[in-house]
């Protein structure tokens, strides 16, 4: 049996995950946290690295993931100190 998921659905899910990651970063920053984890289920239609790149791009690298940030289905994002941009 073959299951087909539309490209639009994958893109919509990706945008939703990017928005949720940025929202989580804002919440954590307000609480003084410097990092947080996001889970990305396998088979989501996009890679963890696509998510990392998009979040870093949209936040101007103030939210970033290092080279050891991916572990299994989770990504550890870090929040830059105020006035500091990574990358």
Report yes or no: 65 and 29 within 8 Å, Cβ to Cβ. Answer: no
- Does residue 65 have a pLDDT over 90? yes
What are 24-49's pLDDT values in tens digits?
999 999 999 999 999 998 888 899 99
Percent of the chain whose pLDDT exceeds 70: 94
Distance CA 60, CA 37 (A): 19
- For residue 66, name the pLDDT band (cuts at 50, 70, 90): confident
- Residue of 57 and 45 predicted with greater confidence: 57
């Amino acid at each position: 049996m073959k299951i087909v998921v539309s490209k639009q659905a994958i893109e919509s899910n990706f945008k939703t995950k990017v928005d949720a990651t940025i929202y989580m970063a804002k919440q954590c920053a307000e609480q003084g946290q410097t990092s947080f984890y996001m889970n990305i289920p396998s088979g989501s239609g996009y890679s963890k690295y696509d998510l990392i790149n998009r979040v870093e791009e949209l936040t101007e690298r103030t939210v970033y993931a290092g080279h050891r940030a991916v572990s299994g289905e989770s990504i550890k994002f870090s929040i830059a100190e105020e006035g500091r941009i990574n990358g």
